[in-house]
A and B are shown apart, each in its own frame.
Chain A
Amino acid sequence: MALDFESVEAVKLVKLFGATRALGGVSLRFEAGQITVIEGHNGSGKSTLVSILGQLAQPTRGEVIYGKLHRRRHAAALRARMGILAHAPMLYPDLTARENLLFYARLFDLPNRTSVVDAQCERFQIGRFADRPVRTYSRGQLQRVALARALMHEPRLLLLDEPSTGLDVLGVERLEKAILEERDRGVIGVLVTHDSDFADRVADRRVRLERGRVIENEDSSPPVGPYATPASPTP
């Protein structure tokens, strides 16, 4: 059975790039069924935090614990439970959308790959252009395929790094709908964005970073869906 976890905890994360301190002791806990929006100015450490959570960067000090699982010991199995969506779609422009999705389905060793890809094409309305090379796509079409790529393996941890950049209103709405659907499924969502309207609509919790430190940590609502904490009985 695949490994699973229902929380991610960053413990005193420090990240140095030479003499520059990107993160200066960040400790945060992320829960299933909750979208946490990370805000802050450019250079505040938001993307570095997401890269460390997604195992794309190593912290200089500190640790990330996925449920009870250690990052180093279960690295590959943990990556199998993560989905990353950023401004760049992480697709091969000379392959079609279907070929890109099948390639990722094989990387994630998914069973019934063809039907999984077909289901994603239907979910994000990719079918009409799925057999054209990605190079010919508009920004909105690219983002739809990127969403399918990031979500096709039903990740537990969804990392979103400026995913709405360059999208039109319809594209942002589609992205918002997908994020909220994933939250209801029980995903641990971490979203970095400068778009405060978009953040208002999807955030369950907001964290503000400044110079690599947490300066605000505001929990606006508890986790939703099957991961919600049961409410206390009213007397």
Chain B
Amino acid sequence: MSVWKAALLVAEKDLRIEMRTREITTTTALFAVLVVVLASLSFYLDRGTARQLAPGVLWISVAFAGVLAMGRSWSREREHDAMRGLLSSPIPRAGIYHGKLISTLLFLSVVEILLVPLIGVLFHLDLFDVLGRVVLILFLGTLGFCAAGTLFAVMTVRTAARDLAISVALFPLVAPALLAGVVAMRELLDGATFESSLGWIRILLAFDILFLIGGTLLFEPLTSD
């Protein structure tokens, strides 16, 4: 079976469970919305400062929601030792990595679909004209965050202090993607052209490729004792 087919199988299984429980999307969306609302109430002064603040608020809520989503998604693999069942099947093990990555990316995308218009309203930003570029930056940043996070999360499957480990060790690892995402979006809201944002977009792209390749190659050795 190909890695791609195996990834779709694993992702489809995660989506089926999520459609039934709605646990990950509900908890992460509520948490992310709360962060955005509280940040807008606390920090909003005027439209000028809002353009500076909004990208940071967006990425902070996405990052925290992402940690929550990944923690819960992998805890489903720990329950009843389901991960051992996946590992004992004949699918390529990189398919498990890509499947978990796809499902986490989809869960976070649902949260982001809620967050972007909410930030537009609460921070009085006109995002309509730059929506395409906002989506591109958000997608590339989230992909990198999920690629690194999924690789790291699997290492914590057998760690007792797994939530602490994800939070403490993941953020330094994904810092380049988060920083590039925040700065690219801030410049975009300040009126930068697409060409001037290209540098940050290239950094995001390089980060994504690095961790996608790393995840594909490292997942198998990381899941064998």
Residues on A close to B: CB < 8 A?
17, 51, 54-58, 76-77, 79-80, 82, 84, 86, 88-95, 99, 103-104, 106-109, 133-134, 142, 149
Contact = CB atoms under 8 A, between A and B. Distances in A.
Contacts of B85: 84, 90-91, 104, 149
B-side interface mostly: helix
B80 A86 contact: no
A82 B84 CA distance: 13
B202 interface: no
B17 A56 contact: no
B84 A84 contact: yes
Interface string B140-167: 0000000000000000000000000000
A94 to B, nearest CB: 5
Residue among B79, B88, B91 with most chain A CB within 10 A = B88
Q: B interface, how many residues as a size bin?
A: 20 to 34
A160 to B, nearest CB: 13
B76 interface: yes
A76 B90 CA distance: 4
A133 B17 CA distance: 10
Contacts of A90: 80-82, 84-85, 88
10 contacts: A56-B224, A90-B80, A90-B81, A90-B84, A90-B88, A92-B76, A95-B16, A106-B9, A107-B6, A107-B9
A58 B224 contact: yes
Contact of A57 (B20, B80, B224): B224
A92 B80 contact: yes
Contacts, number: 78
A54 B20 CA distance: 32
A88 B81 contact: yes
A112 B92 CA distance: 22
Given A89-B80, A90-B80, A107 B86 contact: yes
B225 A57 contact: yes
* The 6 residue pairs across chains A and B that have the minimum distance between CB atoms: A90-B85, A88-B81, A57-B225, A80-B90, A107-B89, A79-B90
Contacts of B91: 76, 107
Contacts of B41: none
A143 to B, nearest CB: 12
Contact of A56 (B1, B79, B84, B92): B84
A99 B89 CA distance: 16
Nearest to A91: B80
Interface in B60-103: 76, 79-82, 84-92
Contacts of B1: 76, 109
Given A51-B225, A107-B9, A93 B90 contact: no
B115 to A, nearest CB: 26
B90 A92 contact: no
Contacts of A58: 224-225
Contacts of B224: 56-58
B42 interface: no
Nearest to A161: B84
B47 interface: no
Contacts of A106: 9
Nearest to B87: A56
Contacts of A55: 88
B82 A94 contact: no
Nearest to A134: B80
Given A104-B89, A109-B90, A93 B79 contact: yes
A90 B83 CA distance: 7
A109 B95 CA distance: 14
Contacts of A86: 81, 84
Interface string B173-206: 0000000000000000000000000000000000
